[in-house]
Structure 1
Amino acid sequence: MVRPPLPAADLAHVLTHTASLWPALAGERLFITGGTGFFGTWLLESIVHARQQLQLDIRATVLSRTPERFLARHPHLAGQEALDWWRGDIRDFDFPGQTHRHIIHAATETYVREQPEAPLTSFDAIVQGTRRVLDFALHTGARQVLLTSSGAIYGPQPLDRIHVPEQHPGAPDCADPTAVYGEGKRTAELLCALYHQQHGLDVKIARCFAFVGPQLPLDKHFAIGNFMNDVLQGRDIAIQGDGTPLRSYLHAADLVIWLLTILLRGAPLRPYNVGSDQALSIADLARQVATSLPGRERLVSIARTPEPGKPPARYVPDVARARSELGLEVHIPLADAIQRTLAWHLREGPAVPPCGKDQ
């Protein structure tokens, strides 16, 4: 299915809050992995928009195994002067010949694939892919590299912590095969530390949590996307759990602002949580989504009754470091973010079959 461009208002929002950053990228060529995913699509469209609006000579080389498949779905990005495509696998791609002073390693995003890869394959993609990108950074003389890591590296958030800070020493259970994503990202961060120590490579780390916005997949095990899919399909929302887990969501336009700021102004090897610190329960999230389209409101049902006295599970970042050191903020309120996302999906066309609700 052909997907429409991102909303002009969202791209203008990115440009407004990154205006001071783009001059540092004038005349530069970025190398971007994961450019065909949710994060990557937002980065590519923001780069194209900034180049056009600011008349900047900025280009990006985008690594992809099958660029033609992506461009068939996003024809508005085909033939863009700002984008060059480099075919290859993240684990063993050939190095392009041009010089790239800035690298954004955004491969391996946080949502679950409809048909998950084998755990070892996923781990190799994260770890071998990160090492390949770091080797390329040395080869090309990159000055700044951004790793999109994940809040999954903290493991389960302690029940007595309202927000999890970067200093939290928790970790996933390394004996649990389902922790492969979090452990892979932890290893990727360790590789960045080793390359910084041994080679002086400046790597910035963005620990990303949960997001919403146009291009959000609706058919993955990702609660907010599932709820939107139900509303777009005219279905009531059915929560399979008790609805108590607490989550927070950052709009993708704000995500791009945060990622570019961390790339250009963040301190090397000083991780920054990326996300919203404004928590709400899964049940309240469902109710908010269910009433976001006037005239098309839906009902919400919850399968299980909460256990009395049991604290809710949380996945909510502390973003005080990003605020105090980099001046980053949550600009788009969640209610607005949900409406913007639904409006874009209404432009896109029919939604997709239902998927289980992740908590």
Structure 2
Amino acid sequence: MQNKIAMLRSDCAEVLASQVERLAPLKNQLVYVTGGTGFVGTWLAEMVSYLNDDHGFGTRLILAARDLDAFRAKAPHLAARADLELVSQDVRYLRELPEGVNYLVHAAATPDNRQHASDPIGSMETITRGTANLLDAAMKLPDLKKILNLSSGQIYGRQRIDEARIPETRPGTLSCDSIMSVYPEAKRYAETLCCAYWSLYKIPVVTARPFAFMGPYQGLDKPWAINNFFRDALKDATIRIIGNGLPERSYLYPSDMAAWLLAILVDGTPGHAYNVGSPTGVTLGDLAEKIKRYAQSSSIIEIRRMNDDRSRFIPDDTQCRKTLGLQVTVGIDEALQRSVRWLKTIA
């Protein structure tokens, strides 16, 4: 466990080296995170814990979620901290927030499409009703400074063939007669709701649109290609690519993700949306080869060619780069190597 904590602390120290001063507004503040025990919330907790321990921030954190036991099991070093409180909560039934909350991060709802397909109504209610409840409760907070609403890069739909990267200004193209639209359509509605509260009540809401990530705390049981590649490579099992290996994706290491989200929370402009993801793409075929190499695996890569998908899903990071001065600290190859090291510690 100590080796894992040392790896996480090193990641935090690296990415926050130039960000400590800009995050000073979080000092001695109370930050409340819905869906706080998931991938994003856990990484925010790592970042805040580092800032408290190494830079004396004195920030208090409340992580609210349904499954607290899972968090205690995966991150006991965080669950035991005095500056972190765990609260059992379902945002669909949220009515009030602690009066002293200064910053809100709304991260409820999982991007796992298996849950969207098995419980589409519940998934949509968590996002739509949960966001409405949070905004209503936020209006009663006397010392609220900012809300960060986590949306999704999926709201854009499929990336155009002639589009190298997806900018925040591009309108989405979703099919409302598909169960696969449950999550992104609900996120689009939640963004619009945040915009309405900002326009009508001046509730300071800023939106982040996360894309894809890889690294510590992302389980191998998730239904995404990269997770399957890691799982099979570490078992020396066949790495199967259903299509032709040409779809292009990008992956941001989670320490960068968490640092970007904190910067958006502090400095993001209310009413605006920011893509959060790496602008550097990699094909699934190349990704599988890299993971095999870094895992020193004897796996065979099988390209099954069951479709001719040549899609891309890569964000334009200009907004974060130019307006907030953010950049990718951990490149794709280093991120893959760190991910392998992490996964081997929990194998």
TM-score range, shorter chain: over 0.9
Partner of 1:85: 86
1:346 alignment partner, SS class? helix
| Aligned twin of 1:207 | 209
Matches within 5 A, 1:275-286: 275-286=277-288
Amino acid at match of 2:122: T
Query: CA offsets per residue over residues 311-330 of structure 1, 9 Å max, x none?
Result: 82111111112111111111
The number of aligned residues is 345
Q: Deviations for 1:95-135, whole angstroms, at most 9, x for unmatched residues?
A: 24331111111122433347954111111111111111112
Q: CA-to-partner distance for each residue in 1:179-216, whole Å, 9 max, x for gaps? A: 01110100010010111011101111111110011111
* CA distance in structure 1 between the aligned counterparts of 2:98 and 2:256, rounded to whole angstroms: 32
Q: In the TM superposition, what whole-angstrom CA distance separates every residue of 1:296-342 from its partner, at most 9, and x where no partner exists?
A: 343311001775xxx82111111112111111111111111011111
User: Which range moves more in the overlay, 276-285 or 9-18?
Assistant: 9-18
Kindly tell me: are residues 88 and 155 of structure 1, through their superposed partners in 2, closer, same or farther at Cα, counting changes over 3 Å? same
Q: Compared with structure 1, are the counterparts of its residues 305 and 222 closer, same or farther at alpha carbon in structure 2 (3 Å cutoff)?
A: closer
Aligned to 2:322: 324
What is the match of residue 249 of structure 1? Answer: 251
- Report deviation, 1:291: 0.7
**Displacement of 1:166:** 0.7
Give me the whole-angstrom Cα distance separating, in 1, the residues matched to 2:89 and 2:303.
Answer: 44
1:66 Cα deviation from its structure 2 partner = 3.1
CA distance in 2, matches of 1:182, 1:137: 24
Which runs of 4 or more aligned residues in structure 1 lie more than 6 Å from their structure 2 counterparts after TM superposition?
A: none
SS at 1:184's partner residue?
A: helix
Moved more, 97-106 or 336-345: 97-106
- In structure 2, C-alpha distance between the alignment counterparts of 1:107 and 1:323, rounded to whole Å: 26
- Secondary structure at the counterpart of residue 140 of structure 2: helix
Pairwise CA RMSD: 2.1
Q: How does 1:170-185 map to 2 (within 5 A)?
A: 170-185=172-187
Partner of 2:35: 34
Aligned residue in 2 for 1:191: 193
Distance between the aligned counterparts of 1:84 and 1:7, measured in 2? 20
Structure 1 partner of 2:46: 45
Corresponding residue number in structure 2 for 1:167: 169
Cα 1:289/1:204, change in 2 over 3 Å: same
Unaligned runs of 5+ in 2: none
**1:225 partner amino acid:** N
What are the Cα deviations for residues 2-36 of structure 1, in whole angstroms up to 9, with x where unaligned?
x9545221121233142123321111000101211
Matched with 1:354 is none
Structure with more helix by fraction: 2
Alignment of 1:124-139 (within 5 A): 124-139=125-140
Alignment correspondent of 1:352? none
Amino acid at match of 1:153: I
The answer as to whether partners of 2:244 and 2:304 remain within 8 angstroms in 1 is yes
Moved more, 127-136 or 204-213: 127-136
Percent of residue pairs identical? 35
Residue 261 of structure 2 corresponds to residue 263 of structure 1:
no
Any conservation in 2 of the 1:234–1:298 contact (CA below 8 Å)? Answer: yes
Question: Would you say the 8 A contact 1:248–1:275 is kept in 2?
Answer: yes
One-letter identity of the residue aligned with 2:12: L
Q: CA deviation at 1:235?
A: 1.2
TM-score with structure 2 length normalisation? 0.94
1:94 Cα deviation after fit: 4.5
In structure 1, the gaps of 5 or more residues are: 350-359
Q: Deviation per CA, 1:111-162, whole angstroms, max 9, x where unpaired?
A: 3347954111111111111111112221223220001111111111111111
Question: Does residue 1:146 correspond to 2:144, yes or no?
Answer: no
Q: CA deviation at 1:69?
A: 3.4
CA distance in 1, matches of 2:165, 2:314: 5
